[in-house]
Every structure is written in structure tokens, then in C-alpha cells.
Amino acid sequence: MRVKLLATISFFTYQLSISQTEKVLNGKVFSQNIPLNKVEVINKTAKTSTRTNELGEFSILVKMQDSLIFYSKDYFFTRLKITAKDIENNNLLVNMILKPEELNEVVINKVEFDKIKISADDVADVLISKNAKDLFWNTGVSDNSIREALRVSFPLKGKPKKKIEPADDRFKKLIMAYCPPDFFIKNLKLKPEEKELFIDFCDSDSKSKTLLENPNVLAIMDFLYAKNEEFKKLK
């Protein structure tokens, strides 16, 4: 019994020493088995950062429960919370997901069509065909139609319809561009059917407009986690 107690105390002492002492953590960042160079590795808890080398390798000081963020403009950011096992293994492998490539918008300013060439003989043939079918032209008998009548347009009754403004989806596009596909379910612990509702909830906050003006991965992440706490309280 005494041996078990000492072993338990030793284990918790070890865990506490790991959690309170910074250790150098080595790791590698890749995507589809290709090492990623110049990926920014940020220890959000300790406010320190470093970058990967040409082999995708990095080293950074961490403690247990520190939050690491891996950021590159062409990839979705990845967030990991350091565990005792990560520190003990000292070989953190991070797989990043490439963002889908956005096509540039194509604007058509002018469209030219080939001109249809009509000769005088073609016009004459059309007129002759039309007159041959005209009852008044051939018999002099009126068919009660108004010849060469004016085309009169009448205004539609009722109030004019209001112009529908397109929905502002800039914030949603921003979030989708920065966050990996499984971020809402895996990190924020939201249900799949709550994703759209949560994004609308965040968009209604005036701070979301500030993020549109100055997009920053740390600011976006802090905003989403803070709004997630508010969102859970509403449920």
C-alpha cells in the first residue's frame, strides 16, 4: 500500500514538474507527405513563435497545456494543445490542409457578334411573301385588324418592388478561408447542424466587421472561441 502511495505521489510530482517547466519540443510540419517551409509556429500561451526550416522541422519551448498554432497563408491553420505525451515523445507531427484555390473573377466588358449580311434582294423577297399573305392587299376586304397600329405600354398596377440587396457573406468567406473544414466540430465541439447558426451568430457581432478590415489568424481564433462560449450559454 505504501509503495503504491509513493508511486502515485511520484507520478503526480512528475506530471507537475512537466507542466510547470518549459521543455524544448521538436516537430515537423507537412502536407500530403511534403515538408512545409516557413510555416509560423506560435505558442499562443507563452507568446513566442518560430518557423519551420526547409525540411519542415521546428523547435519551440512549451509547457503542458500550452496552445500551439501553425499558420501559413496557403493552408488552413492548425491548433494543438500540448500534452505530457507530446513532451515525452518530443516528435510532434503536424499535417496541414491546403486551402482550395480560388479562381479570379472574369469580367466581360464587351461582346461583339458577327454582323448578319442581308442584301436588297433578301428584303424584297420578305416583303413579297408578306403581301401575298395579306387579305387586304389581295382582295381589298378588311380583316378588322388595325394596320400599322401604335404599340402602347401600360404601367403595371401596384407598388414597385423593392430592390433586394445581396446578402453580405464576407465574414463567412473569411472564416471558411482561415478555418479547416473540421474546426467547428473538432475544436469548437459544435454539432454539424449548428455550424451555420453559429456563423450567423458571430456575424451579428460588430467585432466581426473589424476582423474583415484587419484579418489576423490569432484575432479570428480568439473571437471564435469567445463567441463559442456565449453560444453554448444560449442553448
pLDDT digits (tens, 9 = 90+) for 100-147: 876 556 666 666 666 666 666 666 666 666 666 555 555 555 555 555
Mean pLDDT to the nearest integer, 144-155: 50
> Any idea which of 15-29, 153-167, 177-191 has the lowest mean pLDDT?
153-167
pLDDT digits 0-9 by tens, 163-199: 666 668 899 898 888 888 889 988 899 999 999 999 9
Query: At the top level of CATH, which class does the domain 2-95 belong to?
Result: mainly beta
Q: How far apart are CA 144 and CA 160, in angstroms?
A: 37
Q: How far apart are CA 154 and CA 140, in angstroms?
A: 33
Radius of gyration of the chain (CA): 35
pTM > 0.95: no
pLDDT digits 0-9 by tens, 45-92: 999 999 999 999 999 999 999 999 999 989 999 999 999 999 999 999
Q: Hey, where are the domains in the chain?
A: 2-95, 170-234
Q: How far apart are CA 135 and CA 207, in angstroms?
A: 75
Q: How far apart are CA 98 and CA 94, in angstroms?
A: 13
Q: Kindly list the distances between the CA atom of residue 160 and the CA atoms of 26, 135, 165, 201, 219, in Å, as whole numbers in the listed order.
A: 66, 43, 15, 33, 44
SS (H, E, C) the chain: CHHHHHHHHHHHHHHHHHHHCCEEEEEEEEECCEECCCCEEEECCCCEEEECCCCCEEEEEECCCCEEEEEECCEEEEEEECCHHHHHHCCEEEECCECCCCCCCCCCCCCCCCCCCCCHHHHHHHHHHHHHCCHHHHHCCCCCCCCCCCCCCCCCCCCCCCCCCCCCCHHHHHHHHHCCCCHHHHHCCCCHHHHHHHHHHHHCCCHHHHHHHCCCHHHHHHHHHHHHHHHHHHC
